[in-house]
């Protein structure tokens, strides 16, 4: 994923409130009991998920798995990230990556659609189909959002950015609004290309994202209790 942020990012307070709403909904259960089989979480995404430019053990899925285990969740995260992938690419390979029927999926797609200036309605349609198929399989989903770059104009960004909250509401799935929250535009947290998080950037993402993933696991356990 190559992503150019042509506009200053603002409104993190708004994103924080959205995340807090996610975390405060239905989170009453504890981690899986000792001795239970590890839970599988599929991370379906682009280069941010794939870990472009990083050693495999420093990728976002690897570090997020470490965090979950440290917090008492016996979880295995399957890295199904493909650098350069679009929402269409994610949809095309969905059957293959879901062959083992993981009960949880993190959907992190759309940045490359925005980078290439693809019609937001196409990205929305692809993500809609992904979420519909996961819902049909009764998979628990965390939708992870992205913001459009500013070089396509305000109208494009407004249409693109609305995709994630709209679909999260449609499918009643939790939303983590912006995968690069706290990382975008900070040279200390990105690789030399200024586009992909470095090790320190991944650490920031994990710190912010882990509570939302843990809330997903807890809410599922609560529903089974």
86-139 pLDDT, tens per residue? 999 999 999 999 999 999 999 999 999 999 999 999 999 999 999 999 999 999
10 assigned to active site: no
47 assigned to active site: yes
Collapsed DSSP state (helix, strand, coil) of residue 175: strand
Residue 31 pLDDT > 50, yes or no?
no
pLDDT at 15: 39
**Confidence bin at 224 (pLDDT 50/70/90):** low
CA 175 to chain centre: 8
**Confidence bin at 194 (pLDDT 50/70/90):** confident
Cα–Cα dist 173/62, whole Å: 23
Count of other CB atoms within 10 angstroms of residue 198: 17
Selected residue with higher pLDDT from 186 and 35: 186
Lowest mean pLDDT among 27-31, 85-89, 106-110, 206-210: 27-31
pLDDT at 170: 98
Which listed residue (46, 85, 196, 219) is catalytic? Answer: 196
**Confidence bin at 195 (pLDDT 50/70/90):** confident
Mean pLDDT, range 55-65, rounded to an integer: 98
Residue-wise DSSP of 24-80: TSS----PPPTTSPPEEEEEEESHHHHTTTS-GGGSHHHHHHHHHHHTT--EEEEEE
pLDDT at 189: 98
Domains of the chain: 38-220 (3.40.50.1110)
Q: What is the pLDDT of residues 133-176, one digit of tens each?
A: 999 999 999 999 999 998 999 999 999 999 999 999 999 999 99
pLDDT at 168: 98
pLDDT at 17: 39
Cα–Cα dist 159/148, whole Å: 9
**Confidence bin at 198 (pLDDT 50/70/90):** very high
Which listed residue (47, 59, 113, 219) is catalytic? Answer: 47
Strand order in the sheet with 175-176: 75-81, 39-45, 104-108, 140-144, 175-176
**Confidence bin at 61 (pLDDT 50/70/90):** very high
pLDDT at 10: 42
Count of other CB atoms within 10 angstroms of residue 223: 10
pLDDT at 89: 98
43 beta partners: 79, 106
Q: Count how many residues are written for the chain.
A: 225
Cα–Cα dist 110/128, whole Å: 12
Percentage of the chain exceeding pLDDT 90: 78
3-state helix, strand, coil in the chain (%, to 5): 50, 10, 40
196 assigned to active site: yes
Which listed residue (101, 119, 121, 193) is catalytic? Answer: 193
């Amino acid at each position: 994923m190559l992503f150019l942020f042509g506009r200053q990012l603002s409104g993190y307070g708004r994103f924080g409130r959205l995340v807090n709403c996610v975390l405060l909904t239905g989170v009453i259960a504890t981690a899986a009991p000792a001795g239970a089989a590890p839970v599988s979480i599929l991370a379906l995404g682009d280069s941010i998920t794939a870990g472009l430019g990083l050693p495999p053990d420093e990728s976002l899925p690897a570090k997020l798995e470490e965090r979950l285990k440290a917090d008492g969740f016996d979880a295995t995260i399957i890295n199904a990230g493909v650098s350069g992938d679009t929402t269409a690419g994610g949809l095309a390979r969905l059957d293959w990556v879901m062959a083992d029927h993981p009960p949880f999926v993190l959907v992190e797609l759309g940045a490359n659609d925005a980078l290439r200036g693809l019609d937001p309605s196409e990205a929305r349609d692809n993500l809609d189909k992904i979420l519909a198929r996961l819902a049909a399989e009764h998979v628990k989903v965390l939708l992870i959002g992205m913001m459009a770059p500013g070089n396509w104009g305000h109208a494009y960004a407004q249409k693109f950015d609305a995709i994630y909250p709209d679909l999260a509401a449609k499918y009643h799935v939790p939303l983590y609004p912006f995968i690069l929250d706290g990382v975008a535009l900070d040279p200390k947290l990105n690789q030399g290309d200024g586009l992909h998080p470095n090790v320190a950037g991944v650490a920031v993402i994990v710190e912010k994202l882990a509570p939302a993933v843990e809330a997903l696991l807890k809410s599922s356990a609560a529903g089974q209790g």
